[in-house]
Amino acid sequence: EDQVTQSPEALRLQEGESSSLNCSYTVSGLRGLFWYRQDPGKGPEFLFTLYSAGEEKEKERLKATLTKKESFLHITAPKPEDSATYLCAVQEGTDKLIFGTGTRLQVFP
């Protein structure tokens, strides 16, 4: 069965303390891997798309990378406003997205 697993479930960081979130997947034919950010009471907001192993994307303090089995979302020198739930989703051979359950990130000043 196709699966997307995110770890850790929750992460508490001090402001400026860099870390990484993991998304591992088992799908037969990956068409794309997507990272979303979700703030409380809001819908997910698109961050990045990755299509092939070795690909990297950056946006401000965030960098997403992709291997054949997993993706990492690296957060460099995070700020309190980076606090959110980060969702990973994969698109396999159909039009569907399969979402992980997310990592809840809290950044303290």
Partner 1 sequence: DAGVIQSPRHEVTEMGQEVTLRCKPISGHDYLFWYRQTMMRGLELLIYFNNNVPIDDSGMPEDRFSAKMPNASFSTLKIQPSEPRDSAVYFCASGHGGTLGLAFFGQGTRLTVV
- The rounded Cα 82 to chain-centroid distance in angstroms is 13
Pick the binder of partner 1 from 13, 23, 78, 100 (CB under 8 A).
100
Q: CB of 64 within 8 A of CB of 35?
A: yes
Cα distance between residue 81 and residue 109, in whole Å: 10
Can residue 91 be called a binding residue for partner 1 (CB under 8 A)? yes
Can residue 102 be called a binding residue for partner 1 (CB under 8 A)? yes
Size of the site for partner 1 (CB under 8 A): 22
Nearest to 30 by CA among 96, 84, 80: 96
Can residue 81 be called a binding residue for partner 1 (CB under 8 A)? no
Residues interacting with partner 1, by CB under 8 A? 32-34, 41-46, 49, 87, 89, 91, 94-102
